Amino acid sequence: MRNRPRRTLTLTTILATTALLAGACGSSGSGEPADSGGPIELTIATFGEFGYEELLREYQTIHPNIKVTERKTGKAGPHHQNLIAKLGAGSGLADIEAIEEGHLSNVLDKASRFNDLSQIGPADAGADRWLPWKYEAAKSKDGKLIGYGTDSGPLAMCYRKDLLEAANMPSDPQSVKALFSTWETYFQAGQEYVQKSGGKPWFDSAAQNFNAMVNQQEVGYLDRNDKLTLDNNAGIKKAWDQVTAAVGQGQSAKLTAFSNEWNSGFKEGAFATKSCPAWMIGVIKEQSGPDNAGKWAVTDAFPGGGGNWGGSYLSVPTQTKHPKEAAELAAWLTAPEQQLKAFEAKGTFPSQVKALESPRLAAQTEPFFAGEPKIGELFAAQARKIAQPQYKGPGDGQIQENVSTPALQAVEQGTAPAQGWQQLVDGAKKIVG
């Protein structure tokens, strides 16, 4: 009997070790097996605010055999990091994964890991549901549709009415349009504003304009063969020269977008104009605070035509066990009626033709802005101005975020424009090469 306690201890140790091993190895359990009898369980992974809470509840009442769980991530960065990592791992993704426009090029590069929604999706989710540029951007090189468009970010121009008035410049939405018709007139007006206001900056940061200008080029950082174009892309070089010249004239407030200083800049009135996608209205309102109500205005013009910044897609990875059901849910969520509800819930601006024509959208006004503009109608008009999307190769988003934006920041901090351009070219080569 003497041995008993010790043996128990040994057994416990072995058990504990096994448990540890099992705990360390067994964490990669994948989704539940397909069960033909019970309800079908779908997961949808989103980031930020898509406004889907009510919609998903509604979908489950219409389809009692389907149970939907939403996995929400706060920020877009971690969501996509997780997405790419689990695409690589081959398991662990939700049945429906949201993809933000800026990360789309990296995902399109791995199109073989997604279902072609034009094949498996319902018939009513055809190309004519969306604005052409929104639909086309989610097509891979071999023509697969990997995502249904959700929201969009058509660009308009926001400006401080009071600051323009103080500088004796035109300030009502109709007369400022002339200032914002091309990038030449925009930067000319900026130079005039700097002089008349005694040295106050015109825009928040160089990169915010440069990114829009690059997106308006026929060919972006990469051509359709995924070759870097910077060595002979005259359009991008011209945009660089224009922006950096404006920085040299003191037009930039040198506030990196979304930094704390940029946030403070709204309260302090540090800049007079701001490139303004639909969702920026909310940012301006929140950061400027009630003290600055009625000082901002918005006009349906944008230098060089229109443009888009932001917006997402819903995709169905091939990992899912229920591709058909997932595609149906994604199609339903991105239908015009649902997108309008999401817009009313969280302000995600629609990209569907019918939703943009809706009187409910057109009636939307913004009392924080001078003259209570009808922003629904205004941004819908801006969305229709957008031409076909520029082809974006893999790495395009990283070049914008990690190379061109810091290079322009360096110029704002005193680096010579030619040297900054070299930094941009070298950095882009490193990412693509």
Partner 1 sequence: MTVVQAPRRDDRTPAVPPRPTFRQRLSKWDVKFSPYVYIAPFFVVFGLVGLFPLLYTAYVSLYDWEIGDDEPPFVGFDNYVQLFGDGQFWNAVGNTLSIFVLSSGPQVVIAVLLAALLNTRLRGPTGWRIGILLPYAASLVAIGIIFANLFGNQYGLLNSILEMFGIDRIDWQAGTLSSHVAIATMVNWRWTGYNALIVLAAMQAIPKEINEAAVVDGAGPVRRFISVTLPLLRPTLIFVVITSTIGGLQIFTEPKLFDVGQGSNNGGSSNQFQTVTLYMYQQGFENFDLGYASAIAWVLFLLIVVIALVNFLITRRLAATEGGRR
Instruction: Please report, as ranges, the residues that interact with partner 1 according to CB under 8 A.
Output: 3, 6-7, 10, 13-14, 16-17, 20-21, 24, 75, 77, 81, 84-85, 87-88, 110, 113, 254-256, 258-261, 264-265, 268, 270, 398, 401-402, 405-407, 409-410, 412-415, 423, 430-431
Type of residue at 333: L
Residue 20 or residue 178: which is nearer to partner 1 going by CB? Answer: 20
The b/e string for 116-151 (b: 16+ C-beta within 10 A; e otherwise) is bbbeebeeebeeebbbebbbebbbbeeebbbbbbbb
Residue 266 or residue 332: which is nearer to partner 1 going by CB? Answer: 266
Residue 85 or residue 178: which is nearer to partner 1 going by CB? Answer: 85
CB of 407 to partner 1, least distance (A): 7
Residue 271 or residue 313: which is nearer to partner 1 going by CB? Answer: 271
Residue 110 or residue 374: which is nearer to partner 1 going by CB? Answer: 110
CB of 409 to partner 1, least distance (A): 4
Do 330 and 116 contact (CB within 8 A), yes or no? no
CA-to-CA separations, 124 to 46, 56, 57, 120, 353, in angstroms, rounded: 23, 19, 22, 12, 13
Q: Which residues contact 212 (CB under 8 A, 6 or more apart)?
A: 155, 275, 302, 303, 304, 307, 309
Residue 3 or residue 225: which is nearer to partner 1 going by CB? Answer: 3
CB of 205 to partner 1, least distance (A): 10
CB of 353 to partner 1, least distance (A): 34
φ/ψ of 220, rounded to 5, equals: -85, -150
CA-to-CA separations, 217 to 50, 306, 416, in angstroms, rounded: 30, 12, 24
Do 268 and 93 contact (CB within 8 A), yes or no? no
CB of 24 to partner 1, least distance (A): 5
Residue 69 or residue 112: which is nearer to partner 1 going by CB? Answer: 112
CB of 258 to partner 1, least distance (A): 5
CB of 398 to partner 1, least distance (A): 6
